[in-house]
Structure 1
Amino acid sequence: MPTHTSPSDSELRPVQGLARTALLKKLSGDEGMFALGASVARVVQLADSDDQGTQSLAYYVLSDVALTQKVLRLANTPTYRAAGGTAVTTISRAISLLGFDNVKTTAMAMLLVDTLVNSKHAHSVRVELEAALCASLVGREMARFSVYQGAEEAAIGALFKNIGALVVASHEHGLFREIALLTAAGKLTQAQAALQVLGCSYDSLSAAILNEWKIPDVIVRSLAPLPPGALKPATGRQEWMRQVVSFSMETARLLARRQGPDSAEGRALAQRYGAALNLDHERLAQMFSTVARDMDGLLESLQMGGHADPDEGGPGLPSVLAQAAMSAAEPAQGSHPSGKPYNAREQLLAGVQEVTQMRAGGHGKVNDIIQAVLETLYRGMGFRFATVCLKDMRSGQYRARVAFGERHVERQAGFVFPTASSDDLFHLAMQNNADLMIADASTPKIRALLPEWHRQLLPDARSFIVLPLVVNSIQLGLFYADRALPAPEGVPPDETSLIRALKGQVLVALTPG
């Protein structure tokens, strides 16, 4: 029988293990892990501050084509897609449907999978990846019923609870197998085996990695191990997070072994955590069922197929996942040299259907409609920058309110011009309520109509559209989107009609009463 002596909270302090130090040094020089850390830190910092938070998260996902496709696949799985509903085609809608915190944690999970998908030790990595993904789903379910503010951070802690084991499996598989064999022999716990091999426990290594990534301390400390035996209700948020993170990973391990709440292990789990987390048998059984269902949807969105079996060998991560990760880097249907997709019509049509359903279902707040339309134009037409400008009565200016694309923060800040009438292209478009679709902005006639602020802000814009927002002869603003290359393919009549239909949905939403 192993000795069940758990490492203390001091395990999270730096440990001078040679293997640990060498591993952290190796990871610091790994470009993939460095990029993963930077991306995770950036996503963790995103806060749900109404429209601004949704916009920031939507832009982050949209900046990665592969991530965009996977989040949209998840939103279109049977778990989330409304019965009989149209396909979800925008990240803005996916965030509305899945929830801000769900998409945020899911994005980090997908980044984790993408970074480690091509490991040489695919089976071991897959087992640990699935445990991480499943634990994050358990953490999310627990956060739904929590009384604590910021409870969703427990799902992030659960996702990275075993990041130490994951990177050892991926980067030092010999050490990973040695720890597994020592644990399987029954004389040492996993923590003790890792301490013997690495000089620190997996929990300590996980905390060290998250510290390297500059993850907030409240999440790092949630990885600390718990004392043995039945736990008492937490006296504060930090203790509750530690309980949830540990419970989430233990539950994930049980689900991986196909053990339910009525198994001996399931009853032991309930005895240890039931009182602390207010989990009776019925609620525990419901959680197992919900997480198992959601896990199937998540694996489907990642194209990971069935679950890995930790008790069997096998090929591990299927080649289809690696292929998906590679092929997702380019639009599936290809695009013109300008960047405009060949299937622009289909993408615009799907966007029109989605926005129409949003309004018909009563879920279409004005800001949600505007953001969904802007995203459809940005993705569907392959623009490099897209924004919506609205009149600011106090300053007497038109000011960009939402933007997607390259350098969107800088360009949004600079996309400001006076409301006073002028003979430049933007004012003329609004005065005449004329949609402009410019295939080549370098022609003398077009250049002469561009205002100085636009030439300075976007000097390399070579093709663009301007869609005025005019309601009852009142000029409210406009949509603008551009590319750095001319678009000689133009905008055929069917695409033009769909673009106007999208704009029409915004105009209806902006019309009082």
Structure 2
Amino acid sequence: MPVDITSAPVSGENPAVTLDYLLRRMRHKSDFPTLSASVSRIQSLSESENESLGGLCDEILKDVALTQKLLRLINTPHYRRGGGDAISTVSRAVSLIGLAGVRNLALSLMLVEHMEDKKHAQQLKEEFLRTVMAGTLASELCTNSRDAEDAFIGSLFRNLGRLLAEFYLPDEAVEVRELARPAPDGTPAGMTEAAASAQVLGMPFEDLGQAVGQTWALPDRLLNTMKAPTGTVPNRSMLGKPEHQSWLATLANAAADAMLFSPPEELGKRLTVLNQKYAASLELKPEAVQEAAARARKRLTELTKALKLELPKNAQAERLLDHFYVDAPNAGQTEGPGPEALGLAHTDAAGELDRDQVVVAKNSADVLTSGIQDITNTMVDSFKLNDILRMILETIYRALDCRRVIFCMRDAKTMQLIGRIGLGHGADGMKSAFQIPLKLAPGAQADLFTAVSLKGADTLISDASAEPILSRLPVWFRDRVQAPTFLLLPMSMKHQGKDMVLGLIYADKAQAGSLQISEKDLSLLRTLRNQAVMAFKQTTGG
């Protein structure tokens, strides 16, 4: 029997019934389950686990559009303050800005993915920018990177209930917005957003966000930050206490709303009032909020350019961006108030976004070339072998649009190549199946994988079901992997005057004949393989 999603709960209904009704309506939308699953998987990755880097990269790389958006954003001036060549792999992005930083960017960019092709896309853009501004403001008010990452995601997710309503319950969101809309002069509306959403939805936005966050298995620390603290702002320092992030999220969201709704000439005054209100509890220096707002506004402008988020002229959300404070306040005047006079003094010396810096490679040769450059840049300094190998696998995965790639490493005790690192569909669980003998019993015939590895012969199998190939495939491959087309790139280096097999790079696709490699691509793939060998030599002293 189909679920009835049209029967709204009556006034005074049990909150659990109201929540169940709202969740049924959201789940009825095709992309909500996908969003939920992606957020849950990414958020569940623990920073303390060795597999977090691989798991995060794997999750992001499943979505080509998300990968491209992330790389565009990573290449904006804020994240590339040291200059240098463009960043072309998610793995290197993690090494430069940290696992938590990339995870938070991925989570926020997922929201952009769900704005496209919706009738109310412009309103969604405004809500997205308002939300990201709050997160960015919170991170800018922190003095260390760990606190900044927690502050960003906590302040961002404080708005989860409102964003979900905008995405999946747009009619109700419009009604709430009208009831809680501030007056043109920026003064508060007659009804708070919490009261308006409770009246329209049957529960406040905050409770909706909390409930969905729990279904997504968000950590308790984040759930606590998502809940606004009650009572007056403490007049003593909250630094180092659990309540600190909650009060910071409250300030960041209040400042973001001030930037969005205040008349420009009133903004500086309102940010000053907020600074004074939270100075003791958050240990803010004078004008800390104004300076953070200037930096956050610059970062948000870079983000909109990188993601090509176009706003209609005179849209309210333009108040959150740089160009508004160049054009809007001075319209029809030869002189007028600049950002400094509006309480948004520039304190960030980062240059304007160079569009050439954020172009994401589109064809296989470009992706391979960019990856090679990325790896070269990484190997100039100290590096971890696993990081280089992951970057190589990621480059191959993206360039050839693979189903999965796996790196097999020599095990001296067993004299086998063992699957160690996997990327793509089911690769993490399947890598253990790869056990390729490098030493054969007398009279034994080498299977295809052993023969290729020992001979050092780069091999592309277009159709694994062809009889001459099928008979030489190892049992483990036929039983567990069953790839119809695959590429083998063996690795070896000189050791005591002899060639020693180091490893094997394996890549496959889901349809026979679909893995096609040009001479140029093959040359670039061999360069990547040589970089892996060089990384082995540098880390082992070989």
TM bracket, shorter-chain basis: 0.7 to 0.9
Q: Partner of 1:164 in structure 2?
A: 161
Task: Say whether residues 1:428 and 2:451 are aligned partners.
Answer: yes
Q: Partner of 2:432 in structure 1?
A: 413
Q: Could you tell me how far apart the structure 1 residues matched to 2:317 and 2:224 are?
A: 33
* 1:382/1:471 CA distance change after superposition, 3 Å: farther
Give 3-state SS (helix, strand or coil) of 1:508's partner: helix
Alpha-carbon offset, residue 205 of structure 1: 2.2
- 8 Å Cα contact 1:257-1:309 kept in structure 2: no
Q: What amino acid maps onto 1:354 in structure 2? A: D
Q: Partner of 1:392 in structure 2?
A: 411
Q: Could you tell me how far apart the structure 1 residues matched to 2:522 and 2:166 are?
A: 52
Alpha-carbon offset, residue 200 of structure 1: 2.9
- 8 Å Cα contact 1:256-1:310 kept in structure 2: no
Q: Partner of 2:197 in structure 1?
A: 194
- 8 Å Cα contact 2:237-2:281 kept in structure 1: yes
Give 3-state SS (helix, strand or coil) of 1:389's partner: strand
Match of 1:242 among 246, 252, 274: 246
Q: What amino acid maps onto 1:425 in structure 2? A: L
State the Cα deviation string for residues 357-406 of structure 1 (Å, max 9, x = none). 2223x154322211111111111122211111112335554221211121
Give 3-state SS (helix, strand or coil) of 1:116's partner: coil
Match of 1:505 among 520, 524, 531: 531
Q: What amino acid maps onto 1:444 in structure 2? A: E
Q: Could you tell me how far apart the structure 1 residues matched to 2:313 and 2:18 are?
A: 28
Q: What amino acid maps onto 2:113 in structure 1? A: D
Alignment of 1:223-372 (within 5 A): 223-231=226-234, 232-234=236-238, 237-257=241-261, 263-305=268-310, 311=316, 343-360=363-380, 362=381, 364-372=383-391
Task: Say whether residues 1:495 and 2:521 are aligned partners.
Answer: yes
Alpha-carbon offset, residue 40 of structure 1: 1.0
Q: Could you tell me how far apart the structure 1 residues matched to 2:286 and 2:14 are?
A: 40
Give 3-state SS (helix, strand or coil) of 1:298's partner: helix
Q: Could you tell me how far apart the structure 2 residues matched to 1:409 and 1:29 are?
A: 31
Q: Could you tell me how far apart the structure 1 residues matched to 2:474 and 2:371 are?
A: 31
- 8 Å Cα contact 1:18-1:198 kept in structure 2: no
- 8 Å Cα contact 1:61-1:68 kept in structure 2: yes
Alpha-carbon offset, residue 66 of structure 1: 1.0
Alpha-carbon offset, residue 311 of structure 1: 4.1
Q: Which moved more, 1:502-511 or 1:34-43?
A: 34-43
TM-score by length of structure 1 reads: 0.82
Task: Say whether residues 1:68 and 2:70 are aligned partners.
Answer: no
Q: What amino acid maps onto 2:486 in structure 1? A: S
Q: What amino acid maps onto 2:474 in structure 1? A: P
Identity, in percent, stands at 29
Indicate the RMSD between aligned Cα atoms, in angstroms. 3.2
State the Cα deviation string for residues 138-178 of structure 1 (Å, max 9, x = none). 34445652787xx7344222222122222333444443344
Q: Could you tell me how far apart the structure 1 residues matched to 2:91 and 2:313 are?
A: 32
Structure 2: runs of 5+ lacking an equivalent: 1-12, 184-188, 319-359
* 1:93/1:484 CA distance change after superposition, 3 Å: same
Q: Could you tell me how far apart the structure 2 residues matched to 1:60 and 1:171 are?
A: 24
- 8 Å Cα contact 1:15-1:199 kept in structure 2: no
Q: Partner of 1:318 in structure 2?
A: none
Alpha-carbon offset, residue 226 of structure 1: 2.5
- 8 Å Cα contact 1:435-1:466 kept in structure 2: yes
* 1:262/1:228 CA distance change after superposition, 3 Å: farther
* 1:25/1:129 CA distance change after superposition, 3 Å: same
Structure 1: runs of 5+ lacking an equivalent: 1-13, 314-330, 334-342
Aligned positions, number? 472
Q: Could you tell me how far apart the structure 1 residues matched to 2:157 and 2:226 are?
A: 8
Q: What amino acid maps onto 2:460 in structure 1? A: M
Q: Partner of 2:477 in structure 1?
A: 454
* 1:189/1:310 CA distance change after superposition, 3 Å: farther
Give 3-state SS (helix, strand or coil) of 1:31's partner: coil
TM-score by length of structure 2 reads: 0.78
State the Cα deviation string for residues 115-147 of structure 1 (Å, max 9, x = none). 233333334322221122222223444565278
Alpha-carbon offset, residue 262 of structure 1: 7.3
State the Cα deviation string for residues 5-57 of structure 1 (Å, max 9, x = none). xxxxxxxxx96398666433312333322221221111110122465211111
- 8 Å Cα contact 1:260-1:288 kept in structure 2: no
Q: Could you tell me how far apart the structure 1 residues matched to 2:47 and 2:73 are?
A: 20
Q: Which moved more, 1:131-140 or 1:367-376?
A: 131-140
* 1:471/1:248 CA distance change after superposition, 3 Å: farther
Alpha-carbon offset, residue 104 of structure 1: 0.7
Give 3-state SS (helix, strand or coil) of 1:281's partner: coil
Q: Partner of 2:149 in structure 1?
A: 152
Q: Could you tell me how far apart the structure 2 residues matched to 1:103 and 1:260 are?
A: 36
Task: Say whether residues 1:136 and 2:162 are aligned partners.
Answer: no
Match of 1:404 among 419, 423, 432: 423
Task: Say whether residues 1:43 and 2:66 are aligned partners.
Answer: no
Alpha-carbon offset, residue 507 of structure 1: 1.0
* 1:494/1:236 CA distance change after superposition, 3 Å: closer
Bigger relative CO (Cα 8 Å, ≥ 6 apart): 1
Q: Could you tell me how far apart the structure 2 residues matched to 1:382 and 1:194 are?
A: 44
Alpha-carbon offset, residue 207 of structure 1: 1.3
Task: Say whether residues 1:90 and 2:68 are aligned partners.
Answer: no
Q: What amino acid maps onto 1:77 in structure 2? A: T
Q: What amino acid maps onto 2:368 in structure 1? A: L
Give 3-state SS (helix, strand or coil) of 2:191's partner: coil
Q: Partner of 1:477 in structure 2?
A: 503
Q: Could you tell me how far apart the structure 1 residues matched to 2:470 and 2:171 are?
A: 64
- 8 Å Cα contact 2:404-2:422 kept in structure 1: yes
Q: Could you tell me how far apart the structure 2 residues matched to 1:503 and 1:131 are?
A: 45
Alpha-carbon offset, residue 312 of structure 1: 8.1
